[in-house]
Chains A and B, each alone.
Chain A
């Protein structure tokens, strides 16, 4: 294998990893607050179309990213109101959000089909970003660096800040947090909005960086991988980074299987690998330890204070 091939492979893997890493970081914070939002896929699609639309209107990808975050966060608020105010079932509501987001993004995207948008310039000097070797470090979209930077930020927020401690407390025992006097709903609204914004940015990576154009259902189920990734990583931000790249490599295998000579298996098998691994990882984790680990105790349960 030539150096060029390896560099190209790494660039591909980073590109495939970034959206699931962003969405999973957001979902990690949501789940740490005790809410299970299965609507990641829908929020990613909403982010993808809103980011794309905002860029088309403003010709500025930075404003486009803001639009993507806003689109994801806004759609997550629909879920938040149903789950927090009406105590609807979180699993069913999350699934509904995915279906809703898929449909609405397709509708909104009708008028944007065929457009091409300006892409991000590099944040590093061209001599670094375009260097055939150094581009493996400096040659990515700013979103890639943002995603990686968010890993220690989220880890630090959860572990070392008072707000993070309160968020974990709400996810661990909502009734106690309420009786001490913390606003369980307030914390969960904020967490869900953050999760929506991160999923939105993750979705926009498809429409604004990878292609860059709009296509229906362009996130192709990556939202589900992000959800599995949170469990796979045991609700720890550091492991999330490792897990995201593990899945990124699996996804890249599909593209590189033929080139690397794995022609003895059909390419569909490689395409299915990440999803298969998701199922295996989830089964292994649930078999190993049902109650222990790092899962928030109130995950997915409605908050019903007695008074």
Chain B
């Protein structure tokens, strides 16, 4: 460190222990004024713990934090904000039923009259090109707009260091680009940014420096512009990154799942209705559905799984059999399995054992119930097979689902469905909050299932995941599904526009993908 440039933030040998875990082990790095510094690591690598200590939510057990060269203690978030440290959380702490203005006012330590605050908000918004209507109710805003509230709230304090925790996980590519413009402008004005992410291409595009954590230890501090995404990923997971092995010349067979003009009214005031959803998935095909959260993905999953029934029995067919009016149980017997987004409470009962959880969806296909009684032995055997085949870290079939980590439970749930050899598998957010190793295992299992001839529908917000996994892709926006496109010739720009709700007129879409649009109409 040169004497002429004092680091804005410097961490020296920061250590934090939790019962049984060393969350941060002697972590040292520094962030310069105006630097965009990436903090990179898998789930559980210790990134969140580290920034919580910087923001005063937790206290380190050892080491020191220096701010502009002076040793400091940050007792609480209020003290951090006073120093000039702002933070935008991954899960927004917003009040849904209140206005944008009220939400910002609640987050301010100083009591500013509403009118003055509104003027200052408008000033910050115009300065950074952040568009927001101060009197809108938050529940009516998109995720991107909600994030802007958090950013404006942080910027009103004139931060010297802004911590962003996985800011792009819910944004469209266009919203990501807008966010990067704001962050670059902030950095050019001298604000340091600590950017937490595991999206490597974003880090390459945005950040000046990257610090990589693994298992609580600092692995490397590097320059992302000279590293490759692959080299950073390997440092992050500490080994060779497995690429998905797609079976050679995987045969895509005849049409299996046909969804034809599926309509579904919204279930609640804030819900999304499905409008004329139409797509076809063939044997051996992985069909991806991209889209920003809250555009009808949940409604679509419920309609396909049979949790909500359609009036038109022919809206959903598998091998010609009409499933629209069949219940979830009947659909499972017909070979349609599904994995909803919410693991605890929807896909699995947290208080139940893994064996009991397997009974919930596998009882009919695998004959786990005899004369009304649960065959515990069959359930335990099946749960044990899932655990060993999918390398689930659990004590055994008798562990409760709630005792497993998110990634392990997800592996178990995916395994529970996949090992029933469903003809059609519908999964939502299969790797949400799952570390890279487990995600790779889940992806491989899906590819193998498709290779065995199943038709698979993957609903995900992670565009990278869909592009690497799927054969075909469509975008859902406000309950409408775009025409399908082959992933091989998909255009990111166009997908982004579709995610943001810019529906080209059919003629324009047809021009982009003449053969698909034609097939779609046929």
Please determine whether A172 and B96 come into contact, CB atoms closer than 8 angstroms. Answer: yes
Q: Which residue of A lies closest to B92 (CB)?
A: A176
| B208 within 8 A of partner (CB) | no
Q: Interface code A165-177, partner B: CB below 8 Å = 1, 0 otherwise?
A: 1101100110111
Please determine whether B106 and A177 come into contact, CB atoms closer than 8 angstroms. Answer: yes
Q: Which residue of A lies closest to B99 (CB)?
A: A165
Please determine whether B269 and A165 come into contact, CB atoms closer than 8 angstroms. Answer: no
| B90 within 8 A of partner (CB) | no
Please determine whether B96 and A289 come into contact, CB atoms closer than 8 angstroms. Answer: no
In-complex Cβ contact of B106 among A180, A289, A293 (8 A): A180
Please determine whether A289 and B93 come into contact, CB atoms closer than 8 angstroms. Answer: no
A68–B93 Cα distance when bound, in Å, is 40
In the complex with contacts A165-B105, A180-B106, A181-B78, A173-B96 CB distance below 8 A: yes
| B94 within 8 A of partner (CB) | yes
Please determine whether A173 and B102 come into contact, CB atoms closer than 8 angstroms. Answer: no
- Which residues of B29-75 are within 8 A (CB) of A? 57-58
Please determine whether B269 and A166 come into contact, CB atoms closer than 8 angstroms. Answer: no
In-complex Cβ contact of A169 among B58, B77, B106, B109 (8 A): B106
| A291 within 8 A of partner (CB) | yes
A residues near B106, Cβ cutoff 8 Å: 165-166, 169, 177, 180, 182
Please determine whether A169 and B95 come into contact, CB atoms closer than 8 angstroms. Answer: yes
Please determine whether B269 and A169 come into contact, CB atoms closer than 8 angstroms. Answer: no
Q: Which residue of A lies closest to B107 (CB)?
A: A180
A289–B270 Cα distance when bound, in Å, is 10
- Which residues of A118-162 are within 8 A (CB) of B? 162
- Which residues of B454-499 are within 8 A (CB) of A? none
Least CB distance, B366 to chain A, in whole angstroms: 36
Please determine whether B98 and A168 come into contact, CB atoms closer than 8 angstroms. Answer: yes
| B76 within 8 A of partner (CB) | yes
| A179 within 8 A of partner (CB) | yes
| A213 within 8 A of partner (CB) | no
In-complex Cβ contact of A289 among B76, B78, B269 (8 A): B269
A276–B109 Cα distance when bound, in Å, is 48
Q: Which residue of B lies closest to A165 (CB)?
A: B102
Please determine whether A176 and B95 come into contact, CB atoms closer than 8 angstroms. Answer: yes
- Which residues of A282-302 are within 8 A (CB) of B? 289-294, 296-297
In the complex with contacts A162-B111, A180-B107, A181-B77, A169-B98 CB distance below 8 A: yes
A229–B76 Cα distance when bound, in Å, is 42
Least CB distance, B134 to chain A, in whole angstroms: 14
B residues near A296, Cβ cutoff 8 Å: 97
Count of chain A to chain B residue pairs whose CB atoms are closer than 8 Å in the complex? 55
| B268 within 8 A of partner (CB) | yes
Interface residue total, chain A, C-beta cutoff 8 A:
23
A296–B98 Cα distance when bound, in Å, is 11
Q: Interface code B136-178, partner A: CB below 8 Å = 1, 0 otherwise?
A: 0000000000000000000000000000000000000000000
B residues near A179, Cβ cutoff 8 Å: 77, 93
Least CB distance, B272 to chain A, in whole angstroms: 13
A residues near B94, Cβ cutoff 8 Å: 173, 176
Please determine whether A172 and B95 come into contact, CB atoms closer than 8 angstroms. Answer: yes
A residues near B93, Cβ cutoff 8 Å: 173, 175-176, 179-180
A294–B94 Cα distance when bound, in Å, is 16
Q: Which residue of B lies closest to A182 (CB)?
A: B106
Least CB distance, B139 to chain A, in whole angstroms: 9
Q: Which residue of B lies closest to A293 (CB)?
A: B269
| Residue of A162, A168, A176 contacting most chain B CB atoms (<10 Å) | A176
A residues near B111, Cβ cutoff 8 Å: 162
Q: Interface code B102-145, partner A: CB below 8 Å = 1, 0 otherwise?
A: 10011101010000000000000000000000000000000000
A273–B105 Cα distance when bound, in Å, is 45
Least CB distance, B85 to chain A, in whole angstroms: 15
A162–B106 Cα distance when bound, in Å, is 9
Least CB distance, B313 to chain A, in whole angstroms: 27
B residues near A175, Cβ cutoff 8 Å: 93
A180–B76 Cα distance when bound, in Å, is 10
Q: Which residue of B lies closest to A178 (CB)?
A: B93
B residues near A182, Cβ cutoff 8 Å: 106
A180–B269 Cα distance when bound, in Å, is 29
A294–B269 Cα distance when bound, in Å, is 12
Q: Which residue of A lies closest to B102 (CB)?
A: A165
Please determine whether B96 and A291 come into contact, CB atoms closer than 8 angstroms. Answer: no
A298–B93 Cα distance when bound, in Å, is 14
A162–B110 Cα distance when bound, in Å, is 12
A residues near B102, Cβ cutoff 8 Å: 165, 169
B residues near A291, Cβ cutoff 8 Å: 268-270
B residues near A293, Cβ cutoff 8 Å: 269
Residues of A within 8 A of B (CB): 162, 165-166, 168-169, 172-173, 175-177, 179-182, 289-294, 296-297, 307
In the complex, besides A181-B109, A293-B269, A297-B97, 18 extra interface pairs with C-beta distance below 8 angstroms are A162-B105, A165-B105, A168-B97, A168-B98, A169-B95, A169-B102, A172-B96, A173-B94, A175-B93, A176-B95, A179-B77, A180-B93, A181-B76, A291-B268, A291-B269, A292-B269, A297-B96, A307-B57
8 residue pairs, one from A and one from B, having the closest CB atoms: A292-B269, A176-B93, A172-B95, A291-B268, A173-B95, A169-B95, A169-B106, A289-B269
Can you list 15 A-B pairs with a CB-CB distance of less than 8 A? A162-B111, A166-B106, A168-B97, A169-B106, A172-B96, A173-B93, A176-B94, A177-B106, A179-B93, A180-B106, A181-B76, A182-B106, A292-B270, A297-B97, A307-B58
